[in-house]
Amino acid sequence: TSLNPAALDFLERIERQFHVDDAQLQIIVDQFLKDFEAGLNKNGQALPMVPTYVTHLPDGTEKGTFLALDLGGTNLRVCQVTLLGNQQVEMKQSKYRVSDALKTGEAVDLFNYMADSVDHFLTTTDVAPGAEDEDLYLGLTFSFPVDQTAINKGKLIHWTKGFMATNAIGHDVMQMLQDALDRRHIHVKCAALINDTVGCLLSHAYFSGGCILGAIFGTGTNGAYVEDFTKVTKLPKGAFEGTLPKSMVINIEWGAFDNARKVIPRTIFDNKLDRESINPRFQAYEKCISGMYLGEIVRNILLYLVDNSILFSGYSSKQLNTHYGFDTELMSNIESDKSDEGRTVREILTEKMGIDDQSIGPNDIAIVRWACKIVAGRAAKLSSCAVAAIIHETHCAEGNEDFLDVGVDGSLIAFYPGFEDGLRESLRTLVGESIEKRTRIGLAKDGSGIGAALGALGALKAE
Ligand code: ADP
């Protein structure tokens, strides 16, 4: 390019900050393994390592009809899932809007609304044959933090995502839902409470015949895997009656990895993001990786370059000055434009970001592309560490030549160009080429619907 040497040197210094070399990646994997162990032994450690009370993975032969309820953000989804037992499913579903009044009112009204939605769904949908006079079993995907004590018991710790319904915190969400259903004499039994990563793991296991890891790379990032039961030493005695299970699915909550800032090299752009966030010092790994934050890191870089008169002739815009004003989706669109002249990139900068077309100099398109690439490239590399750590932790690659299936979900891994390739490339350096080649990364189908149904089936079998 025609950048002057001083500007080039400036950019190179930024790029070096985002570089994570192979030795550092290995140190991160080793730290993951230490944190797994600590979190399995005791509560309150670096990684939460939440026991989910799910003790088996499906293999695709499961059969039956179940209800799934998914309370996420704006919508409540009710599904009827019929598992056909040959890695096939049939599904019917309806969406119900969750109004702000419900999110912020009395919790009992929210749970009544959930029960009403189930009732509406059942009366307007053909219920599967044979299910009319029997209880239907329901799995709930509940994407809020809960303190789970059984497959069908969990107390809400706190709300997130704009929910504030009163008299819910500290209460068992499954009991609240069951009570609401019972008040309406709806013959549905709340059987399983499932986290979205667990749903991802279960669903992918059903369709692939096995799964070593369910991982989300969307707004946030997290993973769940199957651990030896004997290694989950923090479980209270008497958590299980009779014979103990062989394994237990663990919800890692890996977004919290490296909150202590021990192993991930941080840039001034990460530090700025963290101190200006609503949760400084928390979710450190997530802040380097997930869709909610990558755009913000890029925005910080772009502003730094503007302030140093290296970009956009030193001019910004209202949009670029706005906290979280540069969405990760734009990075994805910028990197998708492979043309020389970068017409889409220019369009995004002028139309979406409000940058004056005259201020966009000959090198600026390339600089913006470069900023997206170094931030997303680092995210992909860091993501590979969690995958490598699970391969080590579970010993799943040892003594066999099987495929290692990883089920993933989230817009970042589904749509960001080169994200999966970048993840694979550093996975190769971490676990070796032969294991990397055996690792199959696939999008999990509807973890929150099919996964919740599989959770309900698992609970029914364990009864
Ligand atoms: P969620 O994780 O909330 O269930 P998604 O998986 O759709 O939902 O993730 C949403 C996040 O992904 C947002 O942070 C958004 O910026 C980002 N995103 C949306 N579209 C894309 C895309 N095409 N490429 C990369 N990231 C995207």
Structural domain contains residue 202: no
In which residue are the tokens 């912020």 written?
Answer: 104
Gap from CA of 433 to ligand 1 centroid (Å): 30
Gap from CA of 383 to ligand 1 centroid (Å): 16
Structural domain contains residue 290: yes
Structural domain contains residue 95: yes
Rounded Cα distance between 200 and 223, Å, is: 9
Query: Is 119 close to ligand 1, i.e. is its CB under 6 Å away?
Result: no
Rounded Cα distance between 78 and 67, Å, is: 7
Protein residue with its CA nearest to atom 9 in ligand 1: 218
Rounded Cα distance between 260 and 302, Å, is: 27
Q: 39 and 68: one domain? A: no
Q: 106 and 246: one domain? A: no
Q: 59 and 40: one domain? A: no
Residue 304 belongs to domain with CATH number? 3.40.367.20
Give me the amino acid identity at 376: A
Q: Are 178 and 126 in contact (CB under 8 A)?
A: no
Structural domain contains residue 455: no
Closest by CA to 286, choosing from 274, 298, 275, 276, is 274
Gap from CA of 254 to ligand 1 centroid (Å): 18
Q: Which residues contact 411 (CB under 8 A, 6 or more apart)?
A: 218, 291, 328, 329
Protein residue with its CA nearest to atom 6 in ligand 1: 410
SS3 251: strand
Q: 169 and 90: one domain? A: yes
Q: What is the 3-state secondary structure (H, E, C) of 194-231?
A: ECHHHHHHHHHHHHHCCCCEEEEECCCEEEEEEEEHHH
Structural domain contains residue 256: yes
Q: 255 and 143: one domain? A: no
Q: 309 and 283: one domain? A: yes
Closest by CA to 209, choosing from 452, 440, 455, 457, is 440
SS3 162: coil
For residue 73, the enclosing domain spans 53-194
Which H or E element spans position 112?
helix 107-124
pLDDT score at 129: 54
Give me the amino acid identity at 434: S
Q: Which of 196, 274, 405, 409 is catalytic?
A: 196
Crossing angle of helices 419-431 and 22-41, in 10° steps, is 80
Establish whether 196 is a catalytic residue.
yes
Query: Is 411 close to ligand 1, i.e. is its CB under 6 Å away?
Result: yes
Q: 13 and 76: one domain? A: no
Q: 140 and 261: one domain? A: no
Q: 286 and 318: one domain? A: yes
Query: Is 291 close to ligand 1, i.e. is its CB under 6 Å away?
Result: yes
pLDDT by residue for the chain (463 residues), tens digit each?
Answer: 578 999 999 999 999 999 999 999 999 999 999 999 999 999 999 999 999 999 999 999 999 999 999 997 778 999 999 999 999 999 999 999 999 999 999 999 999 999 999 999 999 987 655 555 678 999 999 988 888 999 999 999 988 878 899 999 999 999 999 999 999 999 999 999 999 999 999 999 999 999 999 999 999 999 999 999 999 999 988 888 888 999 999 999 999 999 999 999 999 999 999 999 989 999 999 999 999 999 999 999 999 999 999 999 999 999 999 999 999 999 999 999 999 999 999 999 999 999 999 999 989 999 999 999 999 999 999 999 999 999 999 999 999 999 999 999 999 999 999 999 999 999 999 999 999 999 999 999 999 999 999 999 999 988 7
Helix (H), strand (E) counts: the chain: 17, 13
Give me the amino acid identity at 231: K
Structural domain contains residue 330: yes
Q: 37 and 58: one domain? A: no
Rounded Cα distance between 205 and 223, Å, is: 14
pLDDT score at 22: 98
Q: 368 and 355: one domain? A: yes
Q: 44 — alpha (psi -120 to 50), left (phi > 0) or beta?
A: left
Rounded Cα distance between 361 and 313, Å, is: 7
Q: Which of 161, 246, 437, 461 is catalytic?
A: 161
Q: How many Å separate Cα 202 from the centre of its chain? A: 14
Structural domain contains residue 460: no
Query: Is 218 close to ligand 1, i.e. is its CB under 6 Å away?
Result: yes
Query: Across-strand partners of 272?
Result: none
SS3 449: helix
Domain total for the chain? 2
Q: 168 and 245: one domain? A: no
Gap from CA of 331 to ligand 1 centroid (Å): 11
Gap from CA of 132 to ligand 1 centroid (Å): 39
DSSP-derived secondary structure for 278-333: SSTTSSHHHHHHSHHHHHHHHHHHHHHHHHTTSSGGG---HHHHSTT-S-HHHHHH
Query: Is 328 close to ligand 1, i.e. is its CB under 6 Å away?
Result: yes
Q: Which residues contact 101 (CB under 8 A, 6 or more apart)?
A: none
SS3 36: helix
Query: Is 416 close to ligand 1, i.e. is its CB under 6 Å away?
Result: yes
Residue 139 belongs to domain with CATH number? 3.30.420.40
Structural domain contains residue 203: no
> Which ligand 1 atom minimizes the distance to the CA of 72?
4
> Which ligand 1 atom minimizes the distance to the CA of 220?
2
Give pLDDT tens digits for 187-206. 999 999 999 999 999 999 99
Rounded Cα distance between 301 and 310, Å, is: 11
Query: Is 329 close to ligand 1, i.e. is its CB under 6 Å away?
Result: yes
Q: How many CA atoms lie within 13 A of 322 on its CB side?
A: 11
Give pLDDT tens digits for 231-255. 999 998 888 888 899 999 999 999 9
Gap from CA of 302 to ligand 1 centroid (Å): 21
Q: Among 327, 333, 411, 420, which is best to mutate for testing ligand 1, by the most ligand atoms less than 8 A from CB? A: 411
